[in-house]
Amino acid sequence: MQKKMNKKERVEFIQNTLNALYPETPIPLLHKDAYTLLIAVLLSAQCTDERVNKITPLLFELADNPYDMAQLSVEHIKEIIRPCGLSPRKSVAISELSKILIEKHQGQVPQDFALLEELPGVGHKTASVVMSQAFGVPAFPVDTHIHRLAQRWKLTNGKNVEQTEKDLKRLFKKEVWNKLHLQIIFYGREFCPARGHDVEKCIICKTIL
């Protein structure tokens, strides 16, 4: 019978498997700069990337920068983004944060966790995605999917995403964080879903658990 892997061996196996499967990690959300990425990530809360990618071209055609976005009414933004869900809250956040970027940051998205998290509708996960993917700063954005897989793979017993983020940062080297968080998302979608999970088709679960 195969000996159970310890945590260090599990971490190594997971990283090697993900690197082999996903050597390239394109960002799933359509964007062209830090501002459009910020808006796309904000819209992706409780919404699929696929749906966001259908909506953002319509929105960015009208306004792909804070100056143009600030000119649109909240009502107009809300109508465009309605299919993404939570549109009343998200439309207000998009309008407000665009005005704050103009007033406080010369229309630029700040390269700073604390300043990003001060913006309406921007939590720690959104700030982490922008810092890692727009600015290349090491961050480990943990959403509910990564939280679920980290628990399933026994990398954390964290009861919340904050604890899971700390545990994953401790287990994996800083230089792989930005790529790894996307690799885990891709793997979860393809092989390790929440429902209908087939362990035989899931090489990581089949090997490490």
143 is catalytic: yes
**Annotated catalytic residue, options 32, 125, 169, 174:** 125
AA letter at 89 = R
**Annotated catalytic residue, options 143, 166, 174, 201:** 143
169 is catalytic: no
Q: 50-82 b/e with 16+ CB inside 10 Å = b?
A: eebbebbeebbeebbebeebbebeeeebbebbe
Distance CA 118, CA 162 (A): 18
- Of 2, 72, 73, 61, nearest in space to 36 by CA: 61
CB of 28 closer than 8 Å to CB of 185? yes
Distance CA 9, CA 166 (A): 19
| Phi, psi (deg, nearest 5) at residue 86 | 50, 30
CB of 47 closer than 8 Å to CB of 84? yes
User: Active-site residues: which are they?
Assistant: 125, 143
